[in-house]
Amino acid sequence: MKKTIILIITILGTYGTIWGQHEVDRANDLFEKAYYTDAIPLYEAALPKNKSSVLIKNLADSYYHTFNLNASARWYRYLISNYGETVNEEYIFRLNQSLKAIGEYKEAEKVLGDYYSKERQTDKLLQLRQSSTYLDNVKAIGERYTIENSALNTDTSEFGAMPIGNEIWYTAAHKNSKSKTYRWNNQQYLDIYTHPLEKQMLGDSLSSELPGQVNTPLHEGTFTLSSDRKTLYFTRNNSINGKRKTDDRKISNLKIYRATLENDEWKHITELPFNSDEYSNEHPTLSTDGTKLYFSSDRPGGFGSFDIYEVTIQSDDSYGAPINLGALINTDKKEQFPFISSDGALYFSSNGHPGFGLLDVFISKSDNGVWQHPDNLGLPVNSGYDDFSYVLNNDGKTGYFASNRPTGKGSDDIYKFTVTKELTIENCKQYITGTITDRTTTLPLAGVNVLYLDNANNHIMTVTTKEDGAFSLDADCETAYTLKAEKAGYESNMRIVITDKVRSATKDASMDLYSITEREKTQAIAKQKKLAEEKARAEALAIKKLEEEKKAKQLLAQRTVEEKERKEKERLQEKVRAEQAVAKKIENALASETALFKETDRTIIKTEEIHFDYSLWYLRRESRERLKTVIDVMKNNPGMIIEIGTHTDIRGNGKYNKELSQKRADSAKEFLVKNGIESGRIVSKGYGESKPIVKCATEQDCTEEDHEWNRRCEFVVIGWDYDSKNP
Residue 697 has pLDDT above 90, yes or no: no
Q: What are phi and psi of 667, to 5 degrees?
A: -65, -40
pTM, to two decimals = 0.68
User: For 324-343, what is the mean pLDDT?
Assistant: 97
* Pairing relationship of beta strands 493-498 and 480-486 according to DSSP bridges: antiparallel
Cβ atoms of residues 210 and 247 within 8 Å = no
Task: Output the pLDDT for position 189.
Answer: 85
Residue 10 pLDDT greater than 60, yes or no? no
pLDDT at 338 over 60: yes
Run of H or E residues at 208: strand 208-209
Q: Give residue-wise pLDDT tens across range 244-288.
A: 666 666 667 899 999 999 999 999 999 999 999 999 999 999 999
CB-side neighbour CA atoms (13 Å) of 170: 35
What does the pLDDT read at residue 184? 57
| Nearest-10 Cα torsion for 149, 153, 158, 159 | -20
Measured CA distances, 330 to 270, 297, 359 (Å): 28, 11, 13
Query: Does a cis peptide bond (omega within 30 degrees of 0) precede residue 48?
Result: no
pLDDT band at 19 (very low <50, low <70, confident <90, very high): very low
Handedness of CA 271, 272, 278, 279 (dihedral sign): negative
Mean pLDDT, the chain, as a whole number?
A: 90
Within 10 A of 200 (CB to CB), how many other CB atoms are there? 19
Give CA–CA dist 147/542, Å, rounded. Answer: 89
Q: How far apart are CA 315 and CA 320, in angstroms?
A: 11
For 512-533, write each residue's pLDDT tens digit. 999 999 999 988 888 999 899 8
Report the 10 Å Cβ neighbour count for 317: 9
Q: Select, from the ranges 440-444, 531-535, 660-664, the one with the highest average predicted confidence (pLDDT).
A: 440-444
Mean pLDDT of 103-131: 94
- Per-residue pLDDT, averaged over 519-548, amounts to 89
Which amino acid, one-letter code, is at 216?
A: T
Say if residues 263 and 243 touch (Cβ distance below 8 Å): no
Residue type, 9: I
φ, ψ for residue 636, nearest 5 deg: -70, -20
Helix (H) or strand (E) holding 449: strand 449-453
State mean pLDDT over 366-384.
96
**Three-class secondary structure assignment of 31-56:** HHCCCHHHHHHHHHHHCCCCCCHHHH
pLDDT over 90, % of the chain: 64
Task: Kindly tell me if the per-residue pLDDT of 11 is higher than 80.
Answer: no
> Strand order of the sheet with strand 307-312?
281-286, 292-297, 307-312, 323-324
Rounded mean pLDDT of 97-123?
Answer: 94
Q: What is the CA 425 to chain-centroid distance, rounded?
A: 33
What pLDDT digit, counting tens, does each position of 452-500 carry? 988 788 888 999 999 999 999 999 898 899 999 999 999 999 999 999 9
pLDDT, tens digit (0-9, with 9 covering 90-100), for 550-581? 988 988 888 889 889 888 888 888 888 877 87
Between 149 and 177, residue with greater pLDDT: 149
C-beta of residue 710 within 8 angstroms of C-beta of residue 650: yes
Q: What is the pLDDT of residues 607-636, one digit of tens each?
A: 888 877 777 888 888 888 889 999 999 999
Supply the pLDDT for residue 455.
77
pLDDT tens-digit readout, 185-220? 567 789 999 999 999 999 999 999 999 999 998 889
- Eight-state DSSP code of residue 372: P
Distance CA 334, CA 439 (A): 63
Dihedral in degrees, nearest 10, Cα atoms 125, 128, 134, 137: -100
Nearest to 132 by CA among 109, 104, 98: 109
The model's pLDDT over 25-76, given as tens digits with 9 standing for 90+, comes to: 999 999 988 889 999 999 999 999 999 999 999 999 999 999 999 999 999 9
- What are the residues facing 154 on neighbouring strands? none
Exposed, middle or buried, 271 (CB in 10 Å: 0-12/13-18/19+)? middle
Report the C-alpha gap between 344 and 294 in whole angstroms. Answer: 12
Q: Residues 711, 648: contact at Cβ < 8 Å?
A: yes
C-alpha distance from residue 278 to each of 239, 251, 271, 274, 302 (Å): 13, 9, 15, 12, 14
Give the pLDDT confidence score for residue 44 in this predicted structure: 95
The pLDDT score that the predictor gives to residue 394 is 95
CB hemisphere CA count around 711 (13 angstroms): 26
**Average pLDDT of the residues in 399-411:** 94
Find the largest Cα–Cα distance for the chain: 199
pLDDT at 3 over 50: no
